[in-house]
């Protein structure tokens, strides 16, 4: 006799039944957008006595679990809740369960908005925007004052050493990263005593309502370290989501530090914050490349992860900018679009544009309202097609200018430039090095994300 497989819904029902008793019911599970490293599901459940149980399930992708990291995340949620940090309540967790099939945690669903564009632009959040940067500083201060007695499982590796190790393992030498690593070691500020560090504190990982921050989410990167790391991460340009204000696209660094000082009685210096902003920019660059490698290496085939690979150049640009070595005076290379072929029209560029337009204009609107995940993936498809079209239009015009800039430094490739920067044979502040770095990064950015140049 064969048995029907245990579904994810069955698994969630069993875990909630163990927590709340027989008669607990589970409605539809809805996978939420985002979550490049973990899957996130909204669950509408009901207790045996009829009380609504709005729940969120976080689990590792089946087959790619890390039980120790999930247990650490649970420990962080419980410790910070006890310290007065606004976080979801953990309802249940485990290394695996039938149907869930991966390390998981179930937590209560906190009401609030997380989407950056809405927090930055929606009139409903106009009042809270005036003090949100202060609030973020204050909440970070509460996090950093969390007692560490239940968090001894967290890693306390030097952050520069840790991110360099991830970068070296990728075996993808990048001159911008080598320049960044040398700059960080040359300018490192005096360290501070270790605290709990969230590791990914930014809008998108915060739930906000009209009064302020209701919940701090996504603790999977939490570790022990210098508390200013979290403040610098919040200032990284990627987390401004296209808006101009330096803290989350919403507020000022001064407001952030005001809130932090209110919670802790200490105020990091501007230079210290800048160093950690530079570190955070380099860290996001490497983590983006690491995420993309999960797809490229075959461990986790994913459209979303593959697309991140083309966005690494945004962080390369931001890193050169924050280090003060970007030479944005380098000319735009001439385009060399493909000439006539035997295949006729539509040309390959026209095909790419036509498919992208059809997906965006004709198919996308049909998914409004009920297919959030599919719409999200469709947007990624359209963006990748637009990138492919721009690359076809650009042709190989970049190669000549970059080759000349590298040749002037005695290098034949970006990999060789990276190696010589690592060895110290070339200095990142040298005008020729700045030129070669900028030509390569700007060329990639003009194809992959040209709007990034105008933000």
Which value, to the nearest 10 degrees, does the dihedral of the CA atoms of residues 216, 218, 221, 223 take? Answer: 40
Considering the domain boundaries, does residue 80 fall inside one?
Answer: yes
CA of residue 353 relative to chain centroid, distance: 28
The number of beta carbons lying within 10 Å of the beta carbon of residue 85 is: 23
Question: Which residues 6+ apart lie within 8 Å of 451 measured at CB?
Answer: 242
The set of long-range contacts for 348-354, using a CB threshold of 8 Å and a minimum separation of 24, is 348/392, 349/389, 349/392, 349/393, 352/385, 352/388, 352/389, 352/392, 353/385, 353/389
Task: Write down the residue that tokens 């249940």 correspond to.
Answer: 92
Domain end point (choices 59, 92, 108): 108
The CA distance from 323 to 175, in Å, is: 13
Domain end point (choices 49, 77, 108): 108
Domain count, the chain: 2
Considering the domain boundaries, does residue 50 fall inside one?
Answer: yes
Considering the domain boundaries, does residue 288 fall inside one?
Answer: no
Considering the domain boundaries, does residue 389 fall inside one?
Answer: yes
Range of the domain at 42: 8-108
Considering the domain boundaries, does residue 260 fall inside one?
Answer: no
Rg, C-alpha atoms of the chain: 24
Rounded to 5°, the CA angle 403-407-410 comes to 145
Considering the domain boundaries, does residue 68 fall inside one?
Answer: yes
**Distances in whole angstroms, Cα of residue 61 to Cα of each of 65, 166, 451:** 6, 21, 32
Domain end point (choices 88, 108, 128): 108
Contact yes or no for 15/100 (Cβ under 8 A): yes
Considering the domain boundaries, does residue 13 fall inside one?
Answer: yes
Outline where DSSP puts E strands in 120-220: 195-197, 206-209, 212-216
CATH code for the domain in which residue 72 is found: 3.30.200.20
| Each residue's pLDDT expressed in tens, for the chain with a length of 455 residues | 556 788 999 999 999 999 999 999 999 899 887 555 789 999 999 999 999 999 999 999 888 889 999 999 999 999 999 999 999 999 999 999 999 999 999 999 999 999 999 999 999 999 999 999 999 999 999 999 999 999 999 999 999 999 999 999 999 999 999 999 999 999 999 999 999 999 999 999 999 999 999 999 999 999 999 999 999 999 999 999 999 999 999 999 999 999 999 999 999 999 999 999 999 999 999 999 999 999 999 988 889 999 999 999 999 999 999 999 999 888 777 666 667 778 888 888 888 888 888 888 888 888 887 777 888 899 999 999 999 999 988 887 677 789 999 999 999 999 999 999 999 999 999 999 999 999 999 999 999 999 998 87
Considering the domain boundaries, does residue 87 fall inside one?
Answer: yes
């Amino acid at each position: 006799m064969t048995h029907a497989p245990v579904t994810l819904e069955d698994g969630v029902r069993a875990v909630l039944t163990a927590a709340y008793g027989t008669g607990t019911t589970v409605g539809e599970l809805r996978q939420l957008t985002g979550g490049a490293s973990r899957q996130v599901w909204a669950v509408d459940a009901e207790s045996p006595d009829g009380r609504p149980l709005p729940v969120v399930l976080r689990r590792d992708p089946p087959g790619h679990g890390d039980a120790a990291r999930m247990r650490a995340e649970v420990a962080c949620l419980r410790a910070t809740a006890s310290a007065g940090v606004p976080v979801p309540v953990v309802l249940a967790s485990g290394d695996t369960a039938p149907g869930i099939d991966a390390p998981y945690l179930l937590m209560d669903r906190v009401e609030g908005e997380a989407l950056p564009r809405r927090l930055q632009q929606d009139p409903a959040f106009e009042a809270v925007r005036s003090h949100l940067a202060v609030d973020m500083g204050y909440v970070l201060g509460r996090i950093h004052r969390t007692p560490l007695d239940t968090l001894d499982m967290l890693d306390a590796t030097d952050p520069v050493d840790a991110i360099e190790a991830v970068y070296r393992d990728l075996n993808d030498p990048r001159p911008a990263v080598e320049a960044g690593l040398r700059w960080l070691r040359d300018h490192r500020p005096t360290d501070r005593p270790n605290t709990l560090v969230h590791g990914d504190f930014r809008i998108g990982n915060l739930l906000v309502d009209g009064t302020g921050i209701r919940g701090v989410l996504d603790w999977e990167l939490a570790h022990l370290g210098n508390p200013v790391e979290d403040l610098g991460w919040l200032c990284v340009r990627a987390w401004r989501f296209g808006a101009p204000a330096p803290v989350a696209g919403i507020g000022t660094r001064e407001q952030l530090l005001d809130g932090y000082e209110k919670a802790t009685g200490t105020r990091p210096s501007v230079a210290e914050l800048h160093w950690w902003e530079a570190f955070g920019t380099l860290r996001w660059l490497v983590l983006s490349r690491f995420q993309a490698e999960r797809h490229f290496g075959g461990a986790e085939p994913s459209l979303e992860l593959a697309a991140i690979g083309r966005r690494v150049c945004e962080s390369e640009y931001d890193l050169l900018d924050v280090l003060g070595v970007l030479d944005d005076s380098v000319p735009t290379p001439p385009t060399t679009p493909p000439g006539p072929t035997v295949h006729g029209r539509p040309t390959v560029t026209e095909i790419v544009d036509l498919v992208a337009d059809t997906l965006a204009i004709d198919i996308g609107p049909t998914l409004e309202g009920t297919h959030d995940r599919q719409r999200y993936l469709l947007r990624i498809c359209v963006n990748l097609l637009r990138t492919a079209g721009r690359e076809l239009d650009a042709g190989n015009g970049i190669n000549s200018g970059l080759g000349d800039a590298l040749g002037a430094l005695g290098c034949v490739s970006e990999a060789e430039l990276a190696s010589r920067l690592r060895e110290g044979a070339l200095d990142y502040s040298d005008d020729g090095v700045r030129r070669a770095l900028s030509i390569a990064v700007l060329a990639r950015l003009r194809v992959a994300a040209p709007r990034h140049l105008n933000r």
